[in-house]
Amino acid sequence: MEKNSCRAECAISLLPVLAVAALGGVFTLVGKEPILVFHGAIMALSGALAALYLFRKMLAPPAEIPLEYNDKIIRAAVIMILIWGIIGFGVGDIVAWQLAYPNLNFDLPWTNFGRLRPVHTTAVILGFGGNALLATSFYVVQRTSRARLAGQVTPWLVFWGYNLFVFLGVTGYLFGVTQSREYAEPEWYADLLALLVWIGYFWIFLATLARRAERHIYVANWYFLGFIIAFAMLHIVNNLSVPISLEYAKSYSLFTGVQDAMTQWWYGHNAVGFFLTAAFLGMLYYFLPKAANRPIYSYRLSIIGFWGLVFTYMWAGSHHLHYTALPDWVQVLGMSMSLILLVPSWASVFNGFFTLNGAWHKLRYDPALRFMTLAVLFYAIATFEGVFMALKPVNALSHYTDWTVGHVHAGALGWVAFITIGSLYKLVPWVWHREGTYSRRLEAWHFWLALSGAVIYVGAMWNAGITQSLMWQTYDANGQFVYSFMDSVDMLHPYYVARAIGGLLYLVGFMIGAYNIWLTINPPTPAEIPSTPETRPLPASGVVAQPAAQPAE
Amino acid sequence: MSVKRRDQVSGQLTTGHEWDGIEELDTPIPKPFVWGYLIAFLVALIMWIALPSWPLPSSMKWPYITSYWQGLLGSDAERVERRLAELAAQQKAFDDKINKADLAELVNDPKARKLLMPAGAVLYREHCAMCHGPDAKGQPGFPNLVDDQWLWDGEVEGIYTTIKYGINSSHEETQSAEMPGFLKDESLTKDQVRDVVEYVRSISGQEHFPEAAKRGAVVFEEDGACSGCHGEGGAGGLGVGAPNLTDKHWIYGGDRDSLYRSIAEGRKGVMPHWVDLLREAEIRQLALYIKWLGTPEKQVAKVSSVSIPTTAK
Amino acid sequence: MGKLHQMIERNSIVLVLMITIVASIGGIIEIAPLFTIQNTVEKVEGMRVYTPLELAGRDIYVREGCYACHSQMIRKLKTDVDRYGHYSLAAESMYDRPFQWGSKRTGPDLARIGGRRSDEWHVRHLKEPRKVVKGSLMPGYAFLADTDIDPQRIALSIKALQWAGDPYTDEMVKEAAKDAIRQASPDMDDAESIKERYGEKVQIRDFDGNPARVTEMDAMVAYLQMLGTLVDTKALRAAVKAQRQAAESKPAGKAKEVAAR
Ligand code: HEM
Ligand code: HEM
Ligand SMILES: [Ca+2]
Ligand SMILES: [Ca+2]
Ligand SMILES: [Cu+2]
C-alpha cells in the first residue's frame, strides 16, 4: 500500500493559491468599483480557504492513497455540469425571449441583452462544457491508463479554481466587466486565474499518463491532450492586455484593429475547434465504443482525423472575417484550409458511425446511445455547413445573419450537448456505482424533448438567416434596394418566438435529465452496488501501487 | 498484451491493443478519404494560385516577410472597386434620368410617381423613418412631413435642399434656425413665459386663460419678441424655419408643459445632411417621395414594411 | 504510418511536443505577417486617437455588449457599401483595443453612424428605442443618462493606452480627465483647447441635453457621433482612382524603357 505525504505537491500549489489570494486582497482594499471589490473578496476568501486546506494536508501524517480511481472529483464536476447547464440554457432561453419580446430587457443594466448574452455563452461553453470536459477527461484518462489520477490536491484546486474563473466571468458581465473578446470575455485577473488552473490541469493529465499501465496512449487522450495544449496557447496570446490599474477591472488589449481581429478569431475559431470539437471528440472516442460495446472502426482513421484536425483548425479562423478589412491573403488561406478541414472532421464522423456497426439495434432501447449517435450526425451537419459557410461567396450571405446562430447551435445543441448528455447517462451510474440511471423512460423523454428543441431552434434560425440575407441583398430593376433594414427586423419575430420555444423544450428536457441524474445519485430506495473488485475496475494486484515497476514510457 | 483478434462483425483484425475494454480495428483508410484529401487540397491549390494567399519573404532584411502572393485575379478591394465602378456605370443611366430632369416637372408626372414611389419608400424607411416616423407623420421633436406645413420651403426643390444640407446640421451650407430660450437668457420672466404660453394656446385654438393670454399677446406681438420669427399672429410662413403656431401641428407639442419648455429653454432641432451619404439621385428621389406623400389628390401610400411592390423587372 | 505513430503514442512527451508544433504553425503564419507586411493597415489622412470622452463612450459600448447586435465593419461587398457607405478600412480601427467589428447584425451596422442622427435622437433612442423606432429589438439604456462619467478612470485608461503604444502625447495624458469634461461642456472657458490636442474636427457640445452634468450618455453619444467621420472616404476614393490610373499607365512606360535599352 502506497503511503504518501503531500509535502511537495502542496507546497508548490501554495504559491499560485497565495498569489490569487493576494491579488484578491489588493482588489478588496484598493478597488473603486463594487464589482471589483466583490471579486477581490471572493478571490481572497477562496485563496485563503485553499491555503488553509493545503497547510492541513501538509501537516497531516502521510495518508494512504486508496487503491481506486479518483472518482470523487468526477462526481463534483458532474454536479457542476448540471448547475451550469441549467444556468446556461436558462439564460440562453431568456435572451432568446428578449429578442422576440424586447420589453423583457427591463431596461436595467444587468438584465439587458448585451450583458446577458456572454453570460449565456460563457455558462454553456466554459461552465457546462468545461466541467463536462473535466469530468470526462479525468474519467477517461484514469480508465484508459489504468492508473489513479495524479495529484492529491491539484485536481481539487483545478476544479474549484476553474469554476471560480467561470463564476468571476459570469458575474463580471452582469456588472459590465468584460473584455468583449468572444468566448474569452473575462477580465485579465480571471484570465490569470484560468492560466494557473490550466497549468495544473496539464500537469495532472501528463502525470497520470506517465503512470499509466498501458503501453499506448488511447486516442481519446490524444484529443484531450491536444485540447489542453492548444487552449493554453490560445488563451495566453488572446488575452494579452494592459490593466489600467488595480483600482478598476478594465484592461485594454495589446493588439489593435485588424491584428486584434485576427487574433481574436484565431482564438474564437479554435475555441470551437479544440474546446467544442477536439475535446468532445475525446469524449466520443471513449463513451461511444463503451456504450455500443464495439471496437473503434479504424485506428488509422483516428490518426488522420486527429493530426488533420490539430493542424488544419488553426488556419481556419479568418473565415470569421471574410470581406472585412483583414487582408485578402489571410481570408483566402482561411477559406481554403476550412475546405480541407472537412476531411479530418468527417474522419471522426465515419469512425463514430461505423463503430456502431453491429450495435445499431441498441439504439432502440438505449436513449444514451441515441444521444451519442445523433451527436455524431449533428457534428457531421455542423462541420459540413461550416465548410460551406467558410466559402467566401456563401459567407457573403450568411455572415451577420441568424444563419450563423443556427450553425452555432447545430453544433452546440446537437453535438456538444448531445454527446455530453449521452456520456453523462453512462458515466453517472459508473462513478456512483449504480446499475443504471434512475429511469430510462425519463432518458427517452429527455431525448425527444432535446431533439425537437434543437430541430426547431436550428430550423427557425436557418429560415430567419436566409430570409434576412436575401432581404438585405434584393435590388429592384433600377439597382435600388427593395427592403430597408427594419423590414428585415420586422420579419424576424415569428422565427424568434419559435426559437425561444425550441430553447424552452431543450431546457425542460435538460431539467428532466438533471432530475433523473439526481435520482440516480440519490435513489428513493438505496441500492448501491457494493464496491467489489468487479465494480472497481482498477486492477487489485495494484499496478498503481508500484508505478515504477512498470515503466510506462 | 498485444493480441490481435478478428472482429466477428466486420471481419477486420484489431490492432491488438485494448483500453478498459475498448479495442480498435485496423481497418484501412476508406478510399473516399484519400480522394477527399486530394481533391480538397487541389481545390485549395487553385484558390492559392488564383487569389492572394501565402505570405512571402521579399526582403533579406528583418522582418523578411513583407509581402504576399497577389493572386492571378487580384484582391477583393480591387474587385469591389471595379464592380462598383461597373455598376455605377450601369446605374448612371438611371441616375442621369433623375438628375437631369427638372424636379418641379417630375413631381407632376404620374408615371414617374408610379415608378419611383416604391424605391423612395425604401430609402425613406432606411434613412428617415427612425426620426419622422414610419408614416412620415413625425413624432415629438421631429416634424410631420405630410401635413402641408413647412418650416422651410415646402416645394420639391426646397425639400431637396433641406435633405441635402440639413437643418442645424454640421454642413457649412445648412439651413439654421433656433428657437431661443427666453427664460434661459433671462429676456422673459417665468410669469411672462406662462402668459405667452396662454397666448400661444389661444391662437392655436386651444382652451386657455384669457387674462393671461392678453398679457402674453403684448409680449408676443408688441414687444416683437416672437412675431419677428413666427410672423404676425404666429402664422409662420416667413421661411426662417420658425413654425406656424396657429395650427394643430406641433413639433414638440401644444400642451402647457411642452410649450413652456419650448419658450423657456428654447429648441434647436437637428436634421442631418445627406449630401455625402446618399447618391444625388437618391436625395432627389427622397424629395420627390416626400412631396408625393403629402400631395393630397392621390391617396397617401401606406408606408408599412409589408408588400411594397418592386418596380418589376 | 503505423510504426511511426506507435512511437508517438507510446511517449507522452513526444506527443505533447508534436501537438505543440503542429498546432502552432497556422497561427504563426497567419498572424505574424500582419505586423510586418506594410500595407496591412493603409496610411490615410484624418485618423486620430479617441478623445477621452469618446474613449469613455467606447468603453461603455464594450461594457454594454452593443457589439452583440451591431457590426462596425462595412464589408467589401456591393450590398454593404450601398447600404452603409464606403467599406471600412483597416486604418479606421487602428486604435481599437479591442476591435468591435462584430459578427451579428441584429441591428444595423454602426461603422459610419456618425452625423447621420442628431444627438437628441440618439439620446431618446438609447433611452427608449421602441418609442422612437417601432419594432426595434434594442434594449433601453436610460440609466446611462443618470450616471456621471469617472474622469479619473478615463485618465488611467489614456495612460494605459499610451503605454500600449497609441500615440497619445504626454499633454493629452495630463489633460485627459479635464478634456473628458471639456468636450461635453462648451461653456467652459478652455473647452476649445481640446482641438489643439485632437484636431479641428473634434465635436464639442453638450451631447445628452443635460448641460449640468457630464454623463455616460454624453460619452456614448460623443462616441457614436464620431464613428466613421474621421477619414474622408470621398477624398480617399479619388486618391485610389488616381493611384490606379498612375499604375495603369506605368507598365506601358516600363515596357518602353526596356525596349529602349
Ligand atoms: C436552451 C438552449 C439554448 C438557447 C435557447 C440558446 C439561445 C441563444 C441565443 C438567443 C443566442 C444569441 C443569438 C444572437 O445573438 O442573435 C445564443 C448565442 C450563442 N449560444 Fe446559445 N442557446 C442555447 C444553448 C447553447 C449551447 C448548449 C451552446 C454551446 C455549447 C450555445 C452556444 C452559443 C454561442 C457560442 C452563441 C454565440 C453565437 C454567435 O456569436 O454567433 N448555446 N444562444
Ligand atoms: C469543419 C468544421 C467547421 C467549419 C469550417 C466552421 C465554419 C464556420 C463559419 C464559416 C462560421 C461563420 C463565421 C461568420 O460568418 O461569422 C462559423 C461560426 C461558428 N461556428 Fe463553425 N464551423 C465548423 C464547425 C463548428 C462546430 C462543430 C461548432 C460547434 C459548436 C461550431 C461553432 C461555431 C460557432 C460558435 C460560431 C459562431 C462564431 C461567432 O460569430 O460568434 N462550428 N463556423
Ligand atoms: Ca479574457
Ligand atoms: Ca451633459
Ligand atoms: Cu470558425
CA-based end-to-end distance of chain A: 23
A539 pLDDT exceeds 80?
no
Q: Is the alpha carbon torsion for A135, A136, A142, A143 positive or negative?
A: positive
Is the Cβ pair C97, A260 closer than 8 Å? Answer: yes
Ligand nearest to the CA of A121: 1
Residues of C in contact with B17 (CB under 8 A): none
CA A54 – CA A12 distance, rounded (Å): 10
The answer to whether residue C82 neighbours chain A at the CB level (below 8 Å) is yes
Rg of chain A, C-alpha, whole Å: 24
Q: What is the ipTM of this complex?
A: 0.93
Angle at Cα B6 formed by Cα B3 and Cα B7, nearest 5°?
120
The answer to whether residue A277 neighbours chain C at the CB level (below 8 Å) is no
H helices within A65-175, ranges in order? 72-100, 113-122, 130-145, 154-174
pLDDT tens track for A5-34: 788 899 999 999 999 999 999 999 999 999
CA B118 – CA A140 distance, rounded (Å): 64
What are the backbone dihedrals phi and psi of residue A93, each rounded to the nearest 5 degrees, phi first? Answer: -70, -35
Residues of A in contact with C128 (CB under 8 A): 107
Q: Is the alpha carbon torsion for A361, A367, A372, A378 positive or negative?
A: positive
pLDDT tens track for A224-279: 999 999 999 999 999 999 999 999 999 999 999 999 999 999 999 999 999 999 99
The answer to whether residue C68 neighbours chain B at the CB level (below 8 Å) is no
Q: Let me know if residue B182 belongs to a domain.
A: no
Q: A1-60+69-254 adopts what CATH topology?
A: Cytochrome C Oxidase; Chain A (1.20.210)
Task: Tell me the residue range of the domain where B225 lies.
Answer: 190-265
Q: In the 8-state DSSP scheme, what is residue C70?
A: -
Q: Same structural domain for residues B60 and B100?
A: no
CA C187 – CA A515 distance, rounded (Å): 64
Q: Same structural domain for residues B282 and B165?
A: yes
| Cα A166 to middle of ligand 3, angstroms | 11
Q: Same structural domain for residues B9 and B128?
A: no
Mean per-residue pLDDT of chain A: 93
A337 pLDDT exceeds 60?
yes
Q: Which chains reach chain A with 3 or more Cβ–Cβ distances below 8 angstroms?
A: B, C
What is the model's pLDDT at position B28? 93
What is the model's pLDDT at position B4? 87
What is the model's pLDDT at position A526? 62
What is the model's pLDDT at position B149? 82
Ligand nearest to the CA of C221: 4
Given A98, A177, A248, which is nearest C153 (Cβ)? A248
CA A367 – CA A385 distance, rounded (Å): 26
What b/e sequence results for A11-22 when a residue is b if at least 16 CB atoms lie within 10 Å of its CB, and e otherwise? Answer: eebbebbbebbe
**Three-class HEC string of A227-278:** HHHHHHHHHHHHCCEEECCCCCCCEEECCCHHHHHHHHHHHHHHHHHHHHHH
Residues of A in contact with C140 (CB under 8 A): 105, 107, 112
Is the Cβ pair A323, C68 closer than 8 Å? Answer: no
Q: Let me know if residue B313 belongs to a domain.
A: no
Q: Same structural domain for residues B261 and B131?
A: no
Residues of B in contact with A350 (CB under 8 A): 30, 33
Residues of chain C with pLDDT under 70: 1, 244-261
Residues of C in contact with A120 (CB under 8 A): none
Ligand nearest to the CA of A237: 3
Q: Same structural domain for residues B104 and B170?
A: yes
Question: Chain A window 317-336: which residues touch C at a Cβ cutoff of 8 Å?
Answer: 317-318, 320-327, 330, 333-334
The grid coordinates listed for A2 are 502506497
Q: Let me know if residue B311 belongs to a domain.
A: no
What is the model's pLDDT at position A370? 97
Which among A336, A339, A399 is the top mutation candidate for probing chain B, defined by the most B β-carbons within 10 Å of its own β-carbon? A336
Q: In the 8-state DSSP scheme, what is residue A363?
A: G
What is the model's pLDDT at position A117? 98
pLDDT tens track for C209-250: 999 999 999 999 999 999 999 998 877 777 777 776 666 554
Contact C200, C45 (CB under 8 A): no
Q: Let me know if residue B112 belongs to a domain.
A: yes
Q: Which of A405, A415, A458, A510 best tests ligand 1's pocket when mutated (most atoms within 8 Å of CB)?
A: A405
The grid coordinates listed for C213 are 452634468
- We report the CATH number of the domain holding residue B99 as 1.10.760.10
Integer angstrom CA distances of residue A268 from A141, A274, A315, A316: 27, 10, 12, 10
pLDDT tens track for C61-86: 999 999 999 999 999 999 999 999 99
Q: Which chains reach chain B with 3 or more Cβ–Cβ distances below 8 angstroms?
A: A, C
Q: Which of A407, A461, A466 best tests ligand 2's pocket when mutated (most atoms within 8 Å of CB)?
A: A407
Q: Same structural domain for residues B223 and B244?
A: yes
Q: Which of A409, A449, A496, A512 best tests ligand 1's pocket when mutated (most atoms within 8 Å of CB)?
A: A409
Contact B199, B225 (CB under 8 A): no
Q: Whose CA is nearest to atom 33 of ligand 1?
A: A121
Domain closes at, from B49, B75, B101:
B75
Contact A134, A157 (CB under 8 A): no
Q: Let me know if residue B184 belongs to a domain.
A: no
Is the Cβ pair B40, A328 closer than 8 Å? Answer: no
Given C73, C95, C161, which is nearest A325 (Cβ)? C73
Q: Same structural domain for residues B95 and B171?
A: yes
Residues of A in contact with B8 (CB under 8 A): 358
pLDDT over 70 percentage in chain A: 94
Q: Same structural domain for residues B108 and B4?
A: no
Q: Which atom of ligand 1 has the smallest separation from the CA of A510?
A: 1
Given A258, A266, A323, which is nearest C75 (Cβ)? A323
The domain segmentation of chain A, as residue ranges, is: 1-60+69-254
For strands A251-253 and B14-19, give the pairing.
unpaired
What is the model's pLDDT at position A279? 97
Pocket of ligand 1 (CB under 6 A): A 89, 92-93, 95-96, 99, 117, 120-121, 124-125, 129, 404-405, 408-409, 412-413, 416-417, 503, 506-507; C 68, 103-104, 106
A541 pLDDT exceeds 60?
no
Q: In the 8-state DSSP scheme, what is residue A549?
A: G
Q: Same structural domain for residues B108 and B231?
A: no
Given A336, A481, A486, which is nearest B305 (Cβ)? A486
Q: Same structural domain for residues B238 and B118?
A: no
Q: Same structural domain for residues B92 and B119?
A: yes
Integer angstrom CA distances of residue C246 from B74, B86, C234, C237: 17, 20, 19, 14
What is the model's pLDDT at position B283? 96
Query: Among residues A282, A285, A281, A334, which one has the least CA distance to residue A312?
Result: A334
Ligand nearest to the CA of A120: 1
Residues of C in contact with A486 (CB under 8 A): 133, 135
Is the Cβ pair A295, B14 closer than 8 Å? Answer: yes
Residues of chain B with pLDDT under 50: 1, 297-313
Q: What residues flank ion ligand 3 with Cβ within 5 A?
A: A 179, 184, 186, 191, 239
Query: Among residues C64, C80, C45, C87, which one has the least CA distance to residue C200?
Result: C45
Q: Same structural domain for residues B294 and B237?
A: no
Pocket of ligand 2 (CB under 6 A): A 182, 272, 276-277, 316, 319-320, 338, 341-342, 345, 379, 382-383, 386-387, 389-390, 395, 398-399, 404, 407-408, 411-412, 415-416; C 103
What is the model's pLDDT at position B302? 40
| Cα B10 to middle of ligand 2, angstroms | 35
Is the Cβ pair B130, C121 closer than 8 Å? Answer: yes
Q: Let me know if residue B304 belongs to a domain.
A: no
Which among C101, C112, C146 is the top mutation candidate for probing chain A, defined by the most A β-carbons within 10 Å of its own β-carbon? C101
Number of structural domains (chain B) is: 3
Integer angstrom CA distances of residue A548 from A34, A140, A210: 52, 22, 10
Q: Which of A112, A264, A395, A408 best tests ligand 1's pocket when mutated (most atoms within 8 Å of CB)?
A: A408
Ligand nearest to the CA of A464: 1
